[in-house]
Protein backbone atom coordinates (compact mmCIF):
# COMPACT_ATOMS: atom_id res chain seq x y z
CA UNK A 1 0.00 0.00 0.00
CA UNK A 2 2.79 2.37 0.90
CA UNK A 3 4.58 1.50 -2.31
CA UNK A 4 1.51 2.36 -4.35
CA UNK A 5 1.12 5.67 -2.55
CA UNK A 6 4.80 6.46 -3.11
CA UNK A 7 4.50 5.77 -6.85
CA UNK A 8 1.41 8.02 -7.14
CA UNK A 9 3.13 10.89 -5.34
CA UNK A 10 6.24 10.49 -7.48
CA UNK A 11 4.18 10.73 -10.66
CA UNK A 12 2.35 13.81 -9.33
CA UNK A 13 5.60 15.60 -8.48
CA UNK A 14 7.06 14.84 -11.91
CA UNK A 15 4.00 16.22 -13.67
CA UNK A 16 4.13 19.40 -11.59
CA UNK A 17 7.81 19.91 -12.25
CA UNK A 18 7.32 19.45 -15.99
CA UNK A 19 4.48 21.99 -15.96
CA UNK A 20 6.61 24.51 -14.11
CA UNK A 21 9.50 24.03 -16.51
CA UNK A 22 7.19 24.49 -19.48
CA UNK A 23 5.75 27.68 -18.02
CA UNK A 24 9.22 29.05 -17.28
CA UNK A 25 10.34 28.24 -20.80
CA UNK A 26 7.32 30.00 -22.31
CA UNK A 27 7.96 33.10 -20.23
CA UNK A 28 11.59 33.08 -21.28
CA UNK A 29 10.53 32.87 -24.92
CA UNK A 30 7.96 35.70 -24.62
CA UNK A 31 9.03 38.74 -26.67
CA UNK A 32 8.70 42.25 -25.21
CA UNK A 33 6.07 44.57 -26.73
CA UNK A 34 7.30 46.70 -29.59
CA UNK A 35 6.81 50.46 -29.69
CA UNK A 36 4.17 49.98 -32.39
CA UNK A 37 2.25 47.48 -30.23
CA UNK A 38 2.36 49.84 -27.25
CA UNK A 39 1.01 52.67 -29.38
CA UNK A 40 -1.77 50.50 -30.78
CA UNK A 41 -2.75 49.27 -27.35
CA UNK A 42 -2.76 52.81 -26.02
CA UNK A 43 -5.09 53.88 -28.81
CA UNK A 44 -7.40 50.90 -28.38
CA UNK A 45 -7.49 51.32 -24.62
CA UNK A 46 -8.65 54.93 -24.86
CA UNK A 47 -8.15 56.80 -21.60
CA UNK A 48 -7.22 53.62 -19.76
CA UNK A 49 -3.45 53.40 -19.91
CA UNK A 50 -2.88 51.25 -16.82
CA UNK A 51 -0.96 48.67 -18.87
CA UNK A 52 1.87 51.20 -19.14
CA UNK A 53 2.70 50.56 -15.48
CA UNK A 54 3.59 46.95 -16.29
CA UNK A 55 6.06 47.62 -19.04
CA UNK A 56 9.57 46.33 -18.59
CA UNK A 57 12.56 48.73 -18.73
CA UNK A 58 13.38 47.34 -22.17
CA UNK A 59 9.88 48.07 -23.44
CA UNK A 60 9.93 51.59 -21.99
CA UNK A 61 13.27 52.30 -23.63
CA UNK A 62 11.94 51.20 -27.03
CA UNK A 63 9.16 53.83 -27.10
CA UNK A 64 10.62 57.11 -28.33
CA UNK A 65 7.80 58.32 -30.59
CA UNK A 66 4.02 58.05 -30.37
CA UNK A 67 1.40 59.27 -32.84
CA UNK A 68 -2.08 59.35 -31.32
CA UNK A 69 -4.09 60.73 -34.21
CA UNK A 70 -7.32 59.34 -35.64
CA UNK A 71 -8.67 57.58 -32.58
CA UNK A 72 -11.23 58.24 -29.87
CA UNK A 73 -8.62 59.35 -27.32
CA UNK A 74 -9.94 62.65 -25.93
CA UNK A 75 -7.97 62.62 -22.69
CA UNK A 76 -4.38 61.51 -22.57
CA UNK A 77 -3.93 58.93 -19.76
CA UNK A 78 -1.95 59.94 -16.69
CA UNK A 79 0.07 56.75 -17.08
CA UNK A 80 1.86 58.41 -20.03
CA UNK A 81 4.46 59.38 -17.41
CA UNK A 82 5.81 55.81 -17.46
CA UNK A 83 7.13 56.32 -21.01
CA UNK A 84 10.18 58.06 -19.62
CA UNK A 85 12.24 57.68 -22.80
CA UNK A 86 9.66 59.36 -25.04
CA UNK A 87 11.14 61.91 -27.47
CA UNK A 88 8.18 62.77 -29.74
CA UNK A 89 4.47 62.90 -28.89
CA UNK A 90 2.00 63.93 -31.55
CA UNK A 91 -1.80 64.02 -31.64
CA UNK A 92 -3.74 65.30 -34.62
CA UNK A 93 -7.52 65.17 -34.68
CA UNK A 94 -9.27 63.96 -37.82
CA UNK A 95 -12.40 65.51 -39.29
CA UNK A 96 -14.45 63.67 -36.68
CA UNK A 97 -15.26 65.61 -33.51
CA UNK A 98 -14.80 62.52 -31.36
CA UNK A 99 -11.03 62.49 -31.35
CA UNK A 100 -10.23 66.06 -30.31
CA UNK A 101 -7.88 66.14 -27.35
CA UNK A 102 -9.61 68.06 -24.56
CA UNK A 103 -6.96 67.99 -21.83
CA UNK A 104 -3.38 67.12 -20.98
CA UNK A 105 -2.56 65.37 -17.69
CA UNK A 106 -0.17 66.96 -15.21
CA UNK A 107 1.95 63.85 -15.48
CA UNK A 108 3.03 64.78 -19.00
CA UNK A 109 5.47 67.15 -17.30
CA UNK A 110 7.47 64.11 -16.10
CA UNK A 111 8.54 63.33 -19.68
CA UNK A 112 11.81 65.19 -19.30
CA UNK A 113 13.33 63.64 -22.45
CA UNK A 114 10.51 64.95 -24.66
CA UNK A 115 11.82 67.05 -27.57
CA UNK A 116 8.70 67.39 -29.73
CA UNK A 117 5.14 67.88 -28.51
CA UNK A 118 2.30 68.51 -30.94
CA UNK A 119 -1.42 68.61 -30.12
CA UNK A 120 -3.22 70.04 -33.16
CA UNK A 121 -6.89 70.73 -33.93
CA UNK A 122 -8.04 69.83 -30.43
CA UNK A 123 -10.15 71.28 -27.64
CA UNK A 124 -7.37 72.22 -25.22
CA UNK A 125 -8.26 75.35 -23.27
CA UNK A 126 -5.33 75.27 -20.85
CA UNK A 127 -1.91 73.70 -20.35
CA UNK A 128 -0.38 72.03 -17.26
CA UNK A 129 1.31 74.47 -14.86
CA UNK A 130 4.47 72.38 -14.85
CA UNK A 131 4.95 72.59 -18.62
CA UNK A 132 8.25 74.36 -18.03
CA UNK A 133 9.70 71.12 -16.61
CA UNK A 134 10.05 69.75 -20.15
CA UNK A 135 13.60 71.05 -20.17
CA UNK A 136 14.62 69.30 -23.42
CA UNK A 137 11.61 70.37 -25.49
CA UNK A 138 12.62 71.90 -28.83
CA UNK A 139 9.32 72.14 -30.71
CA UNK A 140 5.90 72.87 -29.20
CA UNK A 141 3.02 72.89 -31.67
CA UNK A 142 -0.48 73.63 -30.31
CA UNK A 143 -2.10 74.80 -33.53
CA UNK A 144 -5.90 75.27 -33.57
CA UNK A 145 -7.07 74.65 -30.01
CA UNK A 146 -8.95 76.88 -27.57
CA UNK A 147 -6.07 77.89 -25.32
CA UNK A 148 -6.76 81.14 -23.47
CA UNK A 149 -3.62 81.49 -21.35
CA UNK A 150 -0.11 80.11 -21.16
CA UNK A 151 1.40 78.87 -17.87
CA UNK A 152 3.96 81.12 -16.19
CA UNK A 153 6.43 78.26 -16.23
CA UNK A 154 6.72 78.43 -20.01
CA UNK A 155 9.87 80.45 -19.52
CA UNK A 156 11.55 77.25 -18.31
CA UNK A 157 11.58 75.81 -21.84
CA UNK A 158 15.06 77.18 -22.39
CA UNK A 159 15.87 74.80 -25.28
CA UNK A 160 12.69 75.56 -27.21
CA UNK A 161 13.37 76.50 -30.84
CA UNK A 162 9.85 76.63 -32.29
CA UNK A 163 6.61 77.67 -30.58
CA UNK A 164 3.45 77.46 -32.69
CA UNK A 165 0.19 78.70 -31.14
CA UNK A 166 -1.96 79.92 -34.07
CA UNK A 167 -5.76 79.75 -34.06
CA UNK A 168 -6.25 79.79 -30.32
CA UNK A 169 -7.93 82.27 -27.98
CA UNK A 170 -4.93 83.92 -26.35
CA UNK A 171 -5.59 87.42 -25.06
CA UNK A 172 -2.19 87.99 -23.42
CA UNK A 173 1.23 86.42 -22.96
CA UNK A 174 3.02 85.76 -19.65
CA UNK A 175 6.23 87.74 -18.94
CA UNK A 176 8.14 84.45 -18.96
CA UNK A 177 7.81 84.31 -22.74
CA UNK A 178 10.85 86.60 -22.87
CA UNK A 179 13.03 83.89 -21.31
CA UNK A 180 12.81 81.68 -24.40
CA UNK A 181 16.22 82.80 -25.62
CA UNK A 182 16.58 79.87 -28.06
CA UNK A 183 13.24 80.30 -29.88
CA UNK A 184 13.70 81.00 -33.58
CA UNK A 185 10.08 80.72 -34.80
CA UNK A 186 7.07 82.08 -32.89
CA UNK A 187 3.59 81.74 -34.37
CA UNK A 188 0.90 83.69 -32.51
CA UNK A 189 -1.34 84.53 -35.46
CA UNK A 190 -5.13 84.30 -35.38
CA UNK A 191 -5.55 84.86 -31.66
CA UNK A 192 -7.03 87.73 -29.63
CA UNK A 193 -3.87 89.46 -28.44
CA UNK A 194 -4.30 93.17 -27.73
CA UNK A 195 -0.75 93.78 -26.49
CA UNK A 196 2.66 92.15 -26.02
CA UNK A 197 4.70 92.06 -22.79
CA UNK A 198 7.79 94.25 -22.51
CA UNK A 199 9.86 91.10 -22.01
CA UNK A 200 9.25 90.14 -25.65
CA UNK A 201 12.55 91.83 -26.49
CA UNK A 202 14.35 88.97 -24.77
CA UNK A 203 13.74 86.72 -27.79
CA UNK A 204 17.13 87.56 -29.24
CA UNK A 205 17.38 84.40 -31.39
CA UNK A 206 13.95 84.88 -33.00
CA UNK A 207 13.99 85.00 -36.81
CA UNK A 208 10.23 84.75 -37.54
CA UNK A 209 7.37 86.37 -35.60
CA UNK A 210 3.82 85.88 -36.90
CA UNK A 211 1.21 88.13 -35.29
CA UNK A 212 -1.34 88.63 -38.05
CA UNK A 213 -5.09 88.60 -37.32
CA UNK A 214 -4.99 89.74 -33.69
CA UNK A 215 -6.20 92.89 -31.93
CA UNK A 216 -2.91 94.69 -31.43
CA UNK A 217 -3.12 98.48 -31.13
CA UNK A 218 0.49 99.16 -30.08
CA UNK A 219 3.85 97.40 -29.97
CA UNK A 220 6.25 97.69 -27.03
CA UNK A 221 9.54 99.54 -27.71
CA UNK A 222 11.30 96.40 -26.45
CA UNK A 223 10.57 94.77 -29.80
CA UNK A 224 13.70 96.49 -31.02
CA UNK A 225 15.73 93.97 -29.04
CA UNK A 226 14.97 91.14 -31.48
CA UNK A 227 18.21 91.63 -33.35
CA UNK A 228 17.91 88.35 -35.30
CA UNK A 229 14.37 88.95 -36.59
CA UNK A 230 14.04 88.46 -40.35
CA UNK A 231 10.27 88.18 -40.84
CA UNK A 232 7.59 90.14 -38.98
CA UNK A 233 3.93 89.91 -40.01
CA UNK A 234 1.52 92.31 -38.32
CA UNK A 235 -1.27 92.42 -40.88
CA UNK A 236 -4.94 92.54 -39.90
CA UNK A 237 -4.48 94.26 -36.55
CA UNK A 238 -5.43 97.74 -35.36
CA UNK A 239 -2.06 99.45 -35.43
CA UNK A 240 -1.86 103.19 -36.13
CA UNK A 241 1.88 103.62 -35.53
CA UNK A 242 5.09 101.72 -34.83
CA UNK A 243 7.72 102.42 -32.16
CA UNK A 244 10.93 104.03 -33.36
CA UNK A 245 12.79 100.98 -32.07
CA UNK A 246 11.52 99.06 -35.10
CA UNK A 247 14.35 100.76 -36.94
CA UNK A 248 16.83 98.75 -34.85
CA UNK A 249 15.80 95.47 -36.50
CA UNK A 250 18.71 95.49 -38.90
CA UNK A 251 18.25 91.83 -39.90
CA UNK A 252 14.60 92.32 -40.95
CA UNK A 253 13.91 91.30 -44.55
CA UNK A 254 10.12 90.83 -44.69
CA UNK A 255 7.61 93.18 -43.03
CA UNK A 256 3.83 92.79 -43.36
CA UNK A 257 1.73 95.76 -42.24
CA UNK A 258 -1.30 95.39 -44.49
CA UNK A 259 -4.88 95.86 -43.26
CA UNK A 260 -4.13 98.03 -40.23
CA UNK A 261 -5.09 101.64 -39.50
CA UNK A 262 -2.02 103.58 -40.58
CA UNK A 263 -2.90 107.11 -41.70
CA UNK A 264 0.77 108.04 -42.12
CA UNK A 265 3.78 106.03 -43.18
CA UNK A 266 5.72 104.86 -40.07
CA UNK A 267 9.05 106.67 -40.31
CA UNK A 268 10.88 104.01 -38.30
CA UNK A 269 10.48 101.65 -41.26
CA UNK A 270 12.63 103.95 -43.41
CA UNK A 271 15.69 102.97 -41.36
CA UNK A 272 15.41 99.30 -42.33
CA UNK A 273 18.03 99.41 -45.04
CA UNK A 274 18.11 95.59 -45.29
CA UNK A 275 14.36 95.21 -45.83
CA UNK A 276 13.53 93.31 -49.05
CA UNK A 277 9.74 92.99 -48.91
CA UNK A 278 7.29 95.54 -47.51
CA UNK A 279 3.51 95.21 -47.71
CA UNK A 280 1.57 98.15 -46.30
CA UNK A 281 -1.51 97.77 -48.50
CA UNK A 282 -5.09 98.28 -47.28
CA UNK A 283 -4.34 101.23 -45.03
CA UNK A 284 -5.10 104.94 -45.26
CA UNK A 285 -1.82 106.46 -46.42
CA UNK A 286 -2.21 109.79 -48.28
CA UNK A 287 1.47 110.06 -49.18
CA UNK A 288 4.96 108.67 -48.67
CA UNK A 289 7.77 110.48 -46.84
CA UNK A 290 10.90 111.40 -48.75
CA UNK A 291 12.85 109.24 -46.26
CA UNK A 292 11.46 106.14 -48.03
CA UNK A 293 14.66 106.35 -50.04
CA UNK A 294 16.38 104.64 -47.10
CA UNK A 295 14.85 101.30 -48.13
CA UNK A 296 17.72 100.65 -50.51
CA UNK A 297 17.42 96.82 -50.47
CA UNK A 298 13.68 96.73 -51.14
CA UNK A 299 12.61 94.30 -53.88
CA UNK A 300 8.83 94.12 -53.42
CA UNK A 301 6.81 97.16 -52.35
CA UNK A 302 3.02 96.86 -52.06
CA UNK A 303 1.12 100.12 -51.50
CA UNK A 304 -2.19 98.99 -52.97
CA UNK A 305 -5.53 100.12 -51.55
CA UNK A 306 -4.43 103.31 -49.81
CA UNK A 307 -5.23 106.97 -50.50
CA UNK A 308 -1.98 108.02 -52.17
CA UNK A 309 -2.27 111.30 -54.09
CA UNK A 310 1.37 111.52 -55.18
CA UNK A 311 4.75 109.82 -54.89
CA UNK A 312 7.96 111.52 -53.72
CA UNK A 313 10.77 111.85 -56.28
CA UNK A 314 12.99 109.87 -53.86
CA UNK A 315 11.12 106.70 -54.79
CA UNK A 316 13.49 106.59 -57.74
CA UNK A 317 16.30 105.70 -55.32
CA UNK A 318 14.79 102.26 -54.64
CA UNK A 319 16.86 100.86 -57.48
CA UNK A 320 16.57 97.20 -56.37
CA UNK A 321 12.78 97.11 -56.78
CA UNK A 322 11.47 94.13 -58.76
CA UNK A 323 7.77 94.63 -58.05
CA UNK A 324 5.90 97.88 -57.30
CA UNK A 325 2.16 97.71 -56.65
CA UNK A 326 0.24 101.00 -56.50
CA UNK A 327 -3.25 99.87 -57.49
CA UNK A 328 -6.42 101.35 -55.99
CA UNK A 329 -5.06 104.72 -54.94
CA UNK A 330 -5.72 108.29 -56.11
CA UNK A 331 -2.62 108.96 -58.17
CA UNK A 332 -3.06 111.45 -60.99
CA UNK A 333 0.58 111.52 -62.11
CA UNK A 334 3.93 109.79 -61.64
CA UNK A 335 7.25 111.48 -60.87
CA UNK A 336 9.82 111.46 -63.68
CA UNK A 337 12.25 109.81 -61.24
CA UNK A 338 10.39 106.52 -61.64
CA UNK A 339 12.65 105.91 -64.66
CA UNK A 340 15.53 105.35 -62.21
CA UNK A 341 13.97 101.97 -61.36
CA UNK A 342 14.85 100.65 -64.81
CA UNK A 343 17.59 98.26 -63.75
CA UNK A 344 15.44 95.72 -61.86
CA UNK A 345 11.74 96.60 -62.08
CA UNK A 346 9.74 93.81 -63.73
CA UNK A 347 6.19 94.36 -62.43
CA UNK A 348 4.40 97.70 -62.19
CA UNK A 349 0.75 97.85 -61.17
CA UNK A 350 -0.91 101.28 -61.56
CA UNK A 351 -4.49 100.07 -62.01
CA UNK A 352 -7.51 101.74 -60.45
CA UNK A 353 -6.02 105.22 -60.10
CA UNK A 354 -6.75 108.59 -61.71
CA UNK A 355 -3.83 108.78 -64.12
CA UNK A 356 -4.46 111.02 -67.13
CA UNK A 357 -1.01 110.71 -68.64
CA UNK A 358 2.29 108.93 -68.10
CA UNK A 359 5.75 110.50 -68.15
CA UNK A 360 7.76 109.83 -71.29
CA UNK A 361 10.51 108.59 -68.98
CA UNK A 362 8.37 105.54 -68.19
CA UNK A 363 9.68 104.00 -71.42
CA UNK A 364 13.09 103.70 -69.77
CA UNK A 365 11.69 100.75 -67.78
CA UNK A 366 12.82 98.37 -70.49
CA UNK A 367 12.94 95.33 -68.20
CA UNK A 368 9.22 95.48 -67.43
CA UNK A 369 7.43 92.15 -67.92
CA UNK A 370 4.04 93.04 -66.44
CA UNK A 371 2.36 96.43 -66.73
CA UNK A 372 -1.15 97.04 -65.42
CA UNK A 373 -2.75 100.36 -66.40
CA UNK A 374 -6.42 99.44 -66.45
CA UNK A 375 -9.11 101.59 -64.85
CA UNK A 376 -7.44 104.98 -65.24
CA UNK A 377 -8.19 108.02 -67.40
CA UNK A 378 -5.37 107.64 -69.92
CA UNK A 379 -5.87 109.01 -73.42
CA UNK A 380 -2.42 108.05 -74.77
CA UNK A 381 0.72 106.13 -73.90
CA UNK A 382 4.28 107.49 -74.09
CA UNK A 383 5.64 108.00 -77.59
CA UNK A 384 8.38 105.39 -77.30
CA UNK A 385 6.07 102.75 -75.90
CA UNK A 386 7.67 100.13 -78.13
CA UNK A 387 10.82 100.23 -75.96
CA UNK A 388 9.20 97.76 -73.52
CA UNK A 389 11.25 94.98 -75.09
CA UNK A 390 10.56 92.36 -72.42
CA UNK A 391 6.87 93.03 -71.90
CA UNK A 392 4.86 89.84 -71.42
CA UNK A 393 1.56 91.02 -69.96
CA UNK A 394 -0.34 94.25 -70.47
CA UNK A 395 -3.66 95.52 -69.11
CA UNK A 396 -5.14 98.69 -70.68
CA UNK A 397 -8.91 98.26 -70.40
CA UNK A 398 -11.22 100.95 -69.01
CA UNK A 399 -9.25 104.00 -70.09
CA UNK A 400 -10.04 106.85 -72.51
CA UNK A 401 -8.08 105.75 -75.59
CA UNK A 402 -9.34 106.92 -78.98
CA UNK A 403 -9.26 104.81 -82.13
CA UNK A 404 -6.05 106.27 -83.55
CA UNK A 405 -4.21 105.67 -80.25
CA UNK A 406 -5.40 102.07 -80.13
CA UNK A 407 -4.06 101.53 -83.64
CA UNK A 408 -0.72 103.12 -82.72
CA UNK A 409 -0.35 100.85 -79.68
CA UNK A 410 -1.28 97.85 -81.81
CA UNK A 411 1.41 98.68 -84.33
CA UNK A 412 4.00 99.13 -81.57
CA UNK A 413 3.16 95.80 -80.00
CA UNK A 414 3.19 93.71 -83.17
CA UNK A 415 6.95 93.31 -82.86
CA UNK A 416 6.65 91.92 -79.31
CA UNK A 417 6.10 88.26 -78.43
CA UNK A 418 4.05 89.18 -75.38
CA UNK A 419 1.26 87.26 -73.66
CA UNK A 420 -2.24 88.41 -74.47
CA UNK A 421 -4.64 88.34 -71.52
CA UNK A 422 -8.28 88.37 -72.40
CA UNK A 423 -11.05 89.56 -70.08
CA UNK A 424 -8.87 90.81 -67.19
CA UNK A 425 -6.49 87.86 -67.29
CA UNK A 426 -8.98 85.00 -67.12
CA UNK A 427 -7.57 83.49 -70.28
CA UNK A 428 -4.08 83.51 -71.76
CA UNK A 429 -3.08 83.03 -75.39
CA UNK A 430 -0.20 83.89 -77.69
CA UNK A 431 -0.59 86.23 -80.64
CA UNK A 432 -0.86 83.50 -83.26
CA UNK A 433 -3.77 81.95 -81.33
CA UNK A 434 -5.80 85.16 -81.22
CA UNK A 435 -8.54 86.40 -83.57
CA UNK A 436 -7.85 89.21 -86.05
CA UNK A 437 -9.00 91.90 -83.61
CA UNK A 438 -7.08 90.43 -80.65
CA UNK A 439 -5.38 93.74 -79.75
CA UNK A 440 -8.72 95.33 -78.95
CA UNK A 441 -9.30 92.87 -76.11
CA UNK A 442 -6.56 94.43 -74.01
CA UNK A 443 -8.51 97.68 -74.05
CA UNK A 444 -11.73 96.11 -72.78
- Predicted confidence at residue 265, as pLDDT, reads 98
What residues are paired with 348 via a beta bridge? 324, 371
CATH number of the CATH domain containing 291: 3.80.10.10
Q: What is the pLDDT of residues 237-259, one digit of tens each?
A: 999 999 999 999 999 999 999 99
Name the nearest CA neighbour of 143 among 197, 175, 98, 100: 100
**Does some domain include residue 276?**
yes
Instruction: Label residues 109-144 b or e (16+ Cβ within 10 Å = b).
Output: bbbeebbbbbbbbbebeebbeebbbbeebbbbbbbb
- Predicted confidence at residue 312, as pLDDT, reads 97
Distances (CA, A) of 241 to 22, 96, 176, 426: 81, 43, 26, 38
Beta strands in 347-407 (DSSP E): 347-349, 370-372, 393-395
- Pair (277, 303) in one structural domain: yes
- Pair (340, 365) in one structural domain: yes
Range of the domain at 318: 253-330
Q: With cut-offs at 50, 70 and 90, classify the pLDDT of residue 326.
A: very high
**Does some domain include residue 284?**
yes
% of the chain exceeding 70 in pLDDT: 77
Rounded Cα distance, 444 and 175, in Å: 57
- Pair (354, 323) in one structural domain: no
Q: What is the pLDDT of residues 430-440, one digit of tens each?
A: 333 343 444 44
Q: Note whether 334 and 357 are within 8 A (CB).
A: no
**Does some domain include residue 80?**
no
- Pair (374, 339) in one structural domain: yes
**Does some domain include residue 79?**
no
Whether 262 has a pLDDT exceeding 60, the answer reads yes
Q: Which of 330, 352, 384 is the last residue of a domain?
A: 330
Q: What is the pLDDT of residues 225-239, one digit of tens each?
A: 999 999 999 999 999
Rounded Cα distance, 139 and 191, in Å: 20
Range name among 41-50, 249-258, 286-295, 435-444 with the lowest pLDDT average: 435-444
Name the average pLDDT for the chain.
Answer: 84
| DSSP three-state, residue 151 | coil
Beta strands in 190-329 (DSSP E): 208-210, 231-233, 254-256, 277-279, 300-302, 323-325
Distances (CA, A) of 179 to 114, 122, 164, 200: 19, 27, 16, 8
Rounded Cα distance, 324 and 326, in Å: 7
- Pair (313, 411) in one structural domain: no
- Predicted confidence at residue 424, as pLDDT, reads 34
**Does some domain include residue 208?**
no
Range name among 73-77, 169-173, 188-192, 286-290 with the lowest pLDDT average: 73-77
- Predicted confidence at residue 9, as pLDDT, reads 56
| More confident site: 128 or 427 | 128
- Predicted confidence at residue 70, as pLDDT, reads 60
- DSSP letter for 251, please: T
| DSSP three-state, residue 163 | strand
Q: Which of 270, 299, 330 is the last residue of a domain?
A: 330
**Does some domain include residue 341?**
yes
- Predicted confidence at residue 81, as pLDDT, reads 85
Q: Domain tally for the chain?
A: 2
- Predicted confidence at residue 57, as pLDDT, reads 64
- Pair (348, 440) in one structural domain: yes
- Predicted confidence at residue 43, as pLDDT, reads 61
| More confident site: 136 or 94 | 136
Rounded Cα distance, 44 and 211, in Å: 39
Q: Note whether 113 and 139 are within 8 A (CB).
A: no
- Predicted confidence at residue 434, as pLDDT, reads 40
- Predicted confidence at residue 318, as pLDDT, reads 97
Rounded Cα distance, 102 and 232, in Å: 31
Q: What is the pLDDT of residues 352-361, one digit of tens each?
A: 999 999 999 9
Taking residues 296-314, what's their average pLDDT?
Answer: 97
- Pair (341, 311) in one structural domain: no
Q: What is the pLDDT of residues 126-180, one digit of tens each?
A: 999 999 999 999 999 999 999 999 999 999 999 999 999 999 999 999 999 999 9
- Pair (342, 297) in one structural domain: no
- Pair (380, 318) in one structural domain: no
Q: Please, which residues have CB within 8 angstroms of residue 26's CB and are 6 or more apart in sequence?
A: none
- Pair (317, 341) in one structural domain: no
- Pair (308, 388) in one structural domain: no
- Pair (287, 306) in one structural domain: yes
Rounded Cα distance, 228 and 206, in Å: 6
| DSSP three-state, residue 198 | helix
- Predicted confidence at residue 40, as pLDDT, reads 65
Rounded Cα distance, 66 and 86, in Å: 8
Q: With cut-offs at 50, 70 and 90, classify the pLDDT of residue 16.
A: low
| More confident site: 420 or 341 | 341
Distances (CA, A) of 357 to 329, 331, 346: 15, 11, 21
Q: Which of 330, 346, 361 is the last residue of a domain?
A: 330
Q: Note whether 118 and 89 are within 8 A (CB).
A: yes
- Predicted confidence at residue 38, as pLDDT, reads 67
**Does some domain include residue 274?**
yes
Q: What is the pLDDT of residues 378-425, one digit of tens each?
A: 999 998 887 888 888 889 899 998 888 888 887 777 665 554 443 333
Rounded Cα distance, 82 and 63, in Å: 10
- Predicted confidence at residue 440, as pLDDT, reads 44
Amino acid sequence: MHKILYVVLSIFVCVQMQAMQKSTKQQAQKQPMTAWEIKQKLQEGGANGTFLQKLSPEEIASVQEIELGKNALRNMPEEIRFLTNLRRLHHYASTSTNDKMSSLPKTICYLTHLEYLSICCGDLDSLPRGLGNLCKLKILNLYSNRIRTLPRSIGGLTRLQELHLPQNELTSLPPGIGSLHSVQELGLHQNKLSSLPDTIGGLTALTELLLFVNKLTVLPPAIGGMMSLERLTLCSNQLTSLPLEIGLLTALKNLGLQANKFSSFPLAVCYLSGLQKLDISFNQLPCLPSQVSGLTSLRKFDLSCNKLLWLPPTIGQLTNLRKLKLSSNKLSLLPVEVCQLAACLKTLDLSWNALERLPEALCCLTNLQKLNLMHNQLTKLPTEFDRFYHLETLWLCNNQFEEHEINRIHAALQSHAFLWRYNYGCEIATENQCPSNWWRSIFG
